[in-house]
Every structure is written in C-alpha cells, then in structure tokens.
Structure 1
Amino acid sequence: MDKFAVEAALGVLANNMRLYVEAQARFAGLFKIDREEAISNVDRAFEAKLEALHTLYDISQRYFPWFEFGDTSVLIALRNAIHHRNHPLFRSLNLELWLSPGPERWVGAAFLLAKHRVKGEPRGMMEQFYRLEDFRSRLDPDLSSPYLDTFLNEIKARQRYNQVAGHLSFAKIHETGLRERFPPNQIYVDIIPVFVSAVCRIFKALHAEGIEFKGFDAAVYQAAFTTEIQVDLNALVYRTPRLHRL
C-alpha cells in the first residue's frame, strides 16, 4: 500500500509537470491577448507542481531524506509559504512587472536574473523567477523579517537557511547583486533549475527503492530526470535585462 501511494503521487507530479510546460508553451501567444490570464495560468500551474511535490513528500519520507538537501528543502519551504500566503512574498517576476499597481515604475530598471546551469536541458527550458530577497526574508532568522517562517525554532531555522543558501548558491547571488549595485528587489533567481535538481534527486532515489513510474507522463519524466538532465548547483548564469518600455 505504501509503494502504491508513492507511485500514484509520482503520477500526479509528472502530470502537473506536463501541464506546467503546456501553460508556458501557450504563454507568449496568450500574453498578447490577455496578459493577466497568461501570467495566472503559468503561476497556478507552477504552484500545482509544488503541491504535487509536497504530497509526494508527505508519503515518501521513508524512502528519501528531503531535508538533507538544499533543493528539496527549499521547495518544501516555498510550497508552504505560497500555500499559506500570510505575507506578500513570492510574487513571480511576470506578476510583479506586468500586473502590480503602477508598473510604470519599472521602466528603465535593470534586473539581475540568476539561474543554475542545467546540462542536457531541453531547448527553450521554462523559467520561473522569484525575488531572492523573498527567500531570505522567509528563511533567514538573522534578518528579523516579519515574514519569517516560524515553524522551526531559531537554531533549526538558521541551519536550514545556511544549508539552502550554501547548496543553492543563494549567498553568491546575493553577493553578486550587492557588488553590481542592484537593489534587493531587483535580484531574482530562477527556481526551475532548483526544481529540476530536486526532481532528479528524488526520482533516482525512488527508482533505486523499486518504486515504479506508472503512466505515460511518469515514464517519460523518469527517463529524462534519471539519465539525461543534470543541474550544477555551483554554476550560475546571469542575465541583466533592462525594461525599456511596457
């Protein structure tokens, strides 16, 4: 029964991963017609992936140590933050640029966009940018943020943040932004490579435990995420776009 539940959760996660790709594929065309719908579709599809990942986490802890790695740990924290939504954090870059009140304030602004290098990544790989400062405000107790996650005590919270910031190079991104004089609210990190890294790690571990990847979507993603794609969490790629007009 235990493995059956894990296999079912894997199927749901794989299905939601495909639906996110489809939402991203429709984004550009729909954005020209209905900007709000295009952005909402992608953001809700990404959140559905996080929810499916959290369900898998709930029932697979005997097979995989979720909190021993920065990528899996931060995704659980991100899901919880978005799920409870008792704060203004984790608004996607698209939402912030195009649907926030007064978007004209961003005209002329430059952004530091950081992502981890993905080996064997599909052409046109999706992107989902969140503000780096939001992760720090939510997870770093040293900032004394009013939006800090208080689920863990201070010692464990600091251990988690140090693990995440170290494993995912968040500290390097923050230092680069400061050095290049970007305001904190204009430094973003692409969470998709982090998600990919986590799924690669989880799929390999579950496959080694004899968990079957049942269904078309699960079988396709199992092959890609266990043998083809690799994420280098120590290698960062930066872009610095400037918004010239709305």
Structure 2
Amino acid sequence: MEVISIALDKLSNSMRLYTEECSKFHKLKLIDMEEAIDNLDRTFEAKLEAFHSLYDVSKDNFPYFENADTAFLIMLRNAIHHRDHLLFSSWNSEMLLNDGLEKNYGAAFLMASHIVNEDDFTSQYYYKLDDIYARIDPSLDSPYLEKKMSRSKKLKLLKQLKDELCFELVTEQAKKERYPNKQIYINIVPIFISAMAKIFTCFQNEGLEFKRFDTDVYGKHFTSGIKVDFTKIKYKQVRIQ
C-alpha cells in the first residue's frame, strides 16, 4: 500500500494547488488574463495526471473502468496528455484566449453542472460536450477519435456517460431549448468530486492511513458522505454580448 499512499499524496497535493489557483484567479485575471487562465488550466490538468498515476499503481484495488466517473477521468487525462487533437480547451481558454468572444458574439451557451450534496454552488471548470463525444463516439467519424481504445470499450464508456453521468439528460435539455451541440458545456468538477469520494473511501476501507497533511484534509472531506446526484443537473445560460 505504500506506493498507493505516495500516489494519493501526490493527488491530494495537486488538488490543493488547483484550489489555490482558483482563489487567485479573479485578482490575477485583472493583471494578466493569459497567465490566470493558463495557471488554472495547467493545475487542473495536473490533477488528472496525478489521478492517472494513482490509477497506474492501484488498478488492482479499484474497478476504475466499471465506474463512469473514474473511467471518464482516465479517458480525459489520456486525451489531454497525448494532445493528438484540437479538443478540450477549457471554457476560459476558448472564450478569452482564442478570440472566442468575438467569434461567438450573440451566441448563447448551455452550461450544465451536476448537483453536489444538494448544493447549488460547486466550483466550475467546463469542457465542451461535443469534444467528449468526438473522442469516444465512433458513429461521429471524428478525426480525433481515440485510437488506442477498442471500439467496444469506447461504446461502453459512451453508454456509461450517457446513462450513469446522465449526459443524455443534458442533450435532451439542450434540444428542448434549441442549443446547437457545439454550444453545450459540462462542468467537470462534480464528476471529479464523485470519483474522489469513491477512491478515498475505497482506500480508507482497505486500511490506508492518510498521513500527509493534504491527504488527511482531502481524505476527511471525501469520506464525509459527500454525494453527487447525476440525475440532478443545474443549467444556466451564458450569452456572449
């Protein structure tokens, strides 16, 4: 369990660093927008890298691919790590660093976020839903389709996301409100929270002690009964004006 403990410490540390960047973001963006967004993006990606490191050493201890949230994070990390595509630019990067405000002037976007512990407020970090499907849905014939996963594994993950993470509910809501697919964004933070709750609880039940400060803090937090109800989704509209 020692190597798992080290990987969990790394993951916990990466979560603290991301949280610190979140707290600095609004002040820093007034000084240097690019630095603020890049810092937030890199620390979010560092969380995914640390999660994958934990997966590497604990895949025999937890069924990562039987759970939609953990399977999704592994797919997302691999996509961002290899970068053989133009997918997965964060909302901030897409809109504020790539002339997105000018290109999308007048457009309305649907922002979907799953509810955590019945609370309306959760930290937000958005990726485009279309990008997720372009990576794993063979029927879309995307040039950016994941090449290392078998077709059956991609279809399994696609079904998990639609059914277990209720992405299909988001799509239905978007159709009802007449949003184009390219204007739907998903908050990744609740999915990450759900995965962490499962992971930390699993290792706590296996007797792993959360010895380091960051791991102890996050261990207590994620084993305190925190719950994401994927059937409950908060929607908001963002119109570029």
TM range (shorter): over 0.9
Structure 1 residue runs of 5 or longer lacking an equivalent are none
Alignment counterpart, residue 90 of structure 1, candidates 80, 88, 91? 88
Q: Which deviations, in whole Å up to 9, do the C-alpha atoms of 1:87-124 show, x marking residues without a partner?
A: 00000000010011463122222110001100176x96
Identity of aligned residues (%): 46
CA distance in 1, matches of 2:209, 2:130: 38
Contact 2:196/2:222 (CA < 8 Å) preserved in 1? yes
Aligned residue number for residue 65 of structure 2? 67
Where in structure 2 are the equivalents of 1:108-123 lying within 5 Å?
A: 108-119=106-117
Deviation at 1:180, TM superposition (A): 1.2
SS at match of 2:152: helix
Alignment counterpart, residue 56 of structure 1, candidates 45, 54, 67? 54
SS at match of 1:227: coil
SS at match of 2:203: helix
Deviation at 1:155, TM superposition (A): 2.0
Alignment counterpart, residue 140 of structure 2, candidates 125, 143, 157? 143
Report which stretch shifted further, 143-152 or 89-98. 143-152
Contact 1:116/1:235 (CA < 8 Å) preserved in 2? yes
SS at match of 1:108: coil
Deviation at 1:235, TM superposition (A): 1.1
Residue 33 in 1 paired to residue 28 in 2?
no
CA distance in 1, matches of 2:199, 2:135: 24
Contact 2:122/2:190 (CA < 8 Å) preserved in 1? no
Where in structure 2 are the equivalents of 1:1-246 lying within 5 Å?
A: 3-101=1-99, 103-119=101-117, 125-244=122-241
Contact 1:15/1:218 (CA < 8 Å) preserved in 2? yes
Q: Which deviations, in whole Å up to 9, do the C-alpha atoms of 1:104-149 show, x marking residues without a partner?
A: 122222110001100176x964211000000010011121111111
CA distance in 1, matches of 2:77, 2:195: 14
Q: What letter corresponds to residue 25 of structure 1 in structure 2?
A: S
Contact 2:101/2:240 (CA < 8 Å) preserved in 1? no
CA distance in 2, matches of 1:177, 1:128: 19
Contact 2:129/2:185 (CA < 8 Å) preserved in 1? yes
Q: Which deviations, in whole Å up to 9, do the C-alpha atoms of 1:14-58 show, x marking residues without a partner?
A: 010010010011000111111100000000000000000000000
CA distance in 2, matches of 1:37, 1:201: 33
Contact 2:4/2:57 (CA < 8 Å) preserved in 1? yes
SS at match of 1:240: strand
| TM value normalised by structure 2 | 0.96
Contact 1:73/1:164 (CA < 8 Å) preserved in 2? no
RMSD of equivalent CA atoms = 1.4
Deviation at 1:228, TM superposition (A): 4.2
Contact 1:21/1:126 (CA < 8 Å) preserved in 2? no
Q: Which deviations, in whole Å up to 9, do the C-alpha atoms of 1:160-184 show, x marking residues without a partner?
A: 2111221111111112112211122
CA distance in 2, matches of 1:152, 1:30: 39
